Structure 1
Amino acid sequence: MTFSDRAAELTMYTTSWCGYCVRLKSQLKRAGIGFREVNIEHEPRAAEIVERVNDGNQTVPTLVFSDGSALTNPSVVQVSRRLDELAA
């Protein structure tokens, strides 16, 4: 799977003030894992998605994969494993 294929499969919901988001974005980039970033402060519908997968909370970073599954504040290892599972 190429970098661009993985980016199409992964959306990362963030805010501008989230330190955990900054750290995970940096780790994903170093690992060569592409993603689409959506700031929930600027996109109300994105905030609704985050709330739906986090029991009503706007917890970030929340990552949503191509199959609709989600991970909240995951490690880069967890993200990589989930992408590998989806590719299998």
Structure 2
Amino acid sequence: MMRAWILPMLLVLCGSVVATALIVRGRAGEAAAVLPKFVLLAGVNSPLVFPRSIGALEAQRRSAVDGRPVVFWRSGCKYCLRLRIRLGASAGRLHWVDIWRDPDGAAVVRAANDGNETVPTVVVAGRPHVNPDPAWVREQLSPLA
């Protein structure tokens, strides 16, 4: 779990250091502009941007029942973030598994990607799709409406 927060914490720390240096140099206005940018960047790269993650086994069970795709992701992944943002409100209709929080999820991704933890990996009807187009993922939700 801690691994998912390393990048956001580093961004806040770096932003704080930069802002402090600017304040020491008498440029408080610039510091007030820089720090929120680092905090925003940290927020976007944090697990908070994504719908609540569940375990891989639970996600697979739920997917078998409701037919919704399972998205295996990790924080700090720009492709996962792209998928999340482009899905918009429909992202909440998918089952999300953070592979850094769930070892079973990481194992599923490695099995689907020749031993690599390549994300996002979206499993639809038991078939994995690596870094699929967000429009395609949205289409997979259409029959479920």
TM-score interval (norm. to shorter): 0.7 to 0.9
Query: What's the TM-score once normalised by structure 1's chain length?
Result: 0.74
**Per-residue deviation at 1:81?**
4.2
More strand by share: 1
Structure 2 residue 123 is matched with structure 1 residue 77: no
**Per-residue deviation at 1:58?**
0.3
Please give the secondary structure, in 1, of the residue aligned with 2:72: strand
Please give the secondary structure, in 2, of the residue aligned with 1:71: strand
Choose from 81, 85, 91 the match for 1:22: 81
Structure 2 residue 140 is matched with structure 1 residue 68: no
| Structure with higher RCO (Cα < 8 A, 6+ apart) | 1
CA RMSD of aligned residues (A): 2.0
Please give the secondary structure, in 2, of the residue aligned with 1:58: coil
**Per-residue deviation at 1:82?**
4.5
Structure 2: distance between partners of 1:79 and 1:62: 11
2:69, 2:140 within 8 Å by CA — same for their partners in 1?
A: no
AA of the residue aligned to 1:20:
Y
Q: Which runs of 5+ in 1 are unaligned?
A: 1-5
Structure 2: distance between partners of 1:26 and 1:35: 13
**Per-residue deviation at 1:79?**
1.9
The aligned length equals 77
Query: What's the TM-score once normalised by structure 2's chain length?
Result: 0.47
Structure 2: distance between partners of 1:49 and 1:60: 11
Please give the secondary structure, in 1, of the residue aligned with 2:82: helix
**Identity between Structure 1 and Structure 2 (%):** 34
Q: Which runs of 5+ in 2 are unaligned?
A: 1-62
**Per-residue deviation at 1:41?**
0.5
